[in-house]
Amino acid sequence: MKIYKHIILYLLAAILLGAGCNDGYDAGEFEVDESLQPKARTDAPDAPSAVLASYDEYCDKVVVSWEATIRTSAYDLYKNGVVFAQGLTDTFYVDNDALLVDTEYSVYAKNHNGDSESAGMTVGRMAGVPPTPVNFNATSGAYDSKVELSWDPVDYALYYVVKREGVVLNDRVVGTTFLDNVNAPTTETEYSMYAVGNCGESAPVVTTGYADPLIAFRFPVNETFDGYSVGYDLSSTDMFQHFFHWDMTGGPGSFKVSDDTSVSGAKCAKAVYNDVTGNASAEGNIEIICKNFDLLEGQRYRISYRLKCTVKTQMFLAVDKDGSGNINKADGEESYLLPTWINPKGNGLGIQMAAKPEWTEVSYEFPATGVNTKANFDPDPVVEGWVPATIQAGQTNPLIQIKYYLPTGAGPNGEYPPIYIDDLMIELISE
């Protein structure tokens, strides 16, 4: 049986093979679909990308580079819209005729079909020697222990070198200001500075300045709020904090730099409210508290500031004995550096100022002892018989607190008026 099966299978295979051979085709008998045949491209290459040019990096050239594009045989480089180099096969070019001003470089890719429709563009510039800086200024007596230097930026400068009397204070200042606060001079002193770039140094410029040893404190850093933009929240400065004590959650607002009204400068400090209508239904007080300054034992001082507020205010000058960061009844009457009336509840009522609808200067010499009565606004130290004293041990780091209290509904038309403060300063009294 097995032999018969094998014979049958062989016969079937032979029949099938014979049938295939009898139906064979020649190659020329097939139809060719021309749409499936590859065709030569007729479009130009894409524009080069990542075109970069050196900027102030080299003193004698500008290096332009770009990424290679496909189907590209060469590149053309344009400089300020005019063809500059053609048929480039590298993906970079060194412009040895570079300019000292901003220069536009464009790169086109090309092949046998033409140039790319658009170009990759960038701006480069050759570095030069920095020019001499201008408007180099130093403060003269504006601060008690520092001199602030400033100047205009110049081209090609990487940094600046600042000297005092020929001695280098800083050999790598980045920016256009410098603060000399290490043993700052208290007499007219020469400062010089020059710019440094990759290609050399500028000529030096000279000015003079000095620190005023009589100024112990100035808020916030100068009399015109220079360096502080309008709307800046003064609570973030190192030597200033504010408290808004209010019955309502969140308080009424904050003290910010304002240009609404000013005295000596273009800006001042102003209390800004978050919710005028809501605040009018509660009572509380608003306080501006300054700290972080040192006084000398055995010396007398003068505190002065400008005030504009249509309701009465109070001013305290005292030592924070309980460490609360605030002046309150827990600190005790002996901590006050100016006479303060203490009510039966132990609350201190500082020197009270009547409403000041226009800018008014407030000035008092301290320390002093004597009586300050609750009903006496803007007290006269001579009339009150205050006795001059000097700073004692434990009184060298006081707080300044200026505040006003508003009972429920006290504001006119249900709105609380703003309080403006400017030119806050403490000076040593020179005998």
DSSP for 276-323, please give it: HHHHTTS-EEEEEEE------TT--EEEEEEEEESS-EEEEEE--TTS
Give the three-class secondary structure for 414.
helix
Q: How many angstroms separate the CA atoms of 43 and 72, rounded?
A: 11
pLDDT band, very low/low/confident/very high, at 387 (cuts 50, 70, 90): very high
Sign for the pseudo-dihedral over CA of 171, 174, 178, 180: negative
pLDDT band, very low/low/confident/very high, at 249 (cuts 50, 70, 90): very low
Higher model confidence: residue 21 or residue 293?
293
Summarised one tens digit per residue, pLDDT across range 285-335 is: 677 777 777 888 999 999 998 888 888 888 988 888 777 776 765 455 568
In the predicted model, what is the mean pLDDT of residues 239-265?
A: 55
Residue that has been written with the tokens 């000596």 in this structure: 264
- Nearest residue to 364 via CA among 427, 411, 287, 297: 427
Summarised one tens digit per residue, pLDDT across range 326-380 is: 676 545 556 889 988 877 777 778 888 999 988 899 999 999 998 877 778 999 9
Write down the mean pLDDT value for the chain: 80
Which residues on neighbouring strands pair with residue 375, listed in sequence order? Answer: none
Higher model confidence: residue 409 or residue 125?
125
Q: Which CATH number fits domain 217-428: 1.10.3720.10, 1.10.580.10, 3.40.50.1000, 2.60.120.260?
A: 2.60.120.260
Q: What is the Cβ-side half-sphere exposure of residue 364, based on CA atoms within 13 angstroms?
A: 26
pLDDT band, very low/low/confident/very high, at 410 (cuts 50, 70, 90): low
Q: How many angstroms separate the CA atoms of 326 and 291, rounded?
A: 10
Q: What CATH class does 52-124 carry?
A: mainly beta
Residue that has been written with the tokens 């969140």 in this structure: 250
Sign for the pseudo-dihedral over CA of 319, 323, 325, 327: negative
Domains 52-124 and 137-212 share a fold: yes
Give DSSP secondary structure letters for 96-107: TT--SS-EEEEE
Segment among 5-9, 177-181, 200-204, 206-210 with least mean pLDDT: 5-9
Phi, psi of 27 (to 5 degrees): -60, -35
- Cα separation values, 424 from 218, 245, 356, Å: 6, 22, 16
Summarised one tens digit per residue, pLDDT across range 29-50 is: 556 566 665 666 678 899 999 9
Q: Which CATH number fits domain 137-212: 2.60.40.10, 3.90.226.10, 3.30.565.10, 3.30.70.240?
A: 2.60.40.10
Residues 253, 269 contacting (CB under 8 angstroms): no
Residue type, 207: T
Residues 148, 223 contacting (CB under 8 angstroms): no
Contacts of 106 (CB under 8 A, 6+ apart): 51, 77, 78, 81, 119, 120, 121
Residues 245, 285 contacting (CB under 8 angstroms): yes
How do the domains of the chain map onto residue ranges? 52-124, 137-212, 217-428
Segment among 23-27, 171-175, 300-304, 397-401 with least mean pLDDT: 23-27
- Give the model's pLDDT for residue 256: 76
CB atoms closer than 10 angstroms to residue 120 = 22
Contacts of 19 (CB under 8 A, 6+ apart): none
Is there a cis peptide before residue 367, judged by omega within 30 degrees of 0? yes
In the predicted model, what is the mean pLDDT of residues 112-123?
A: 92
Write down how long the chain is: 431
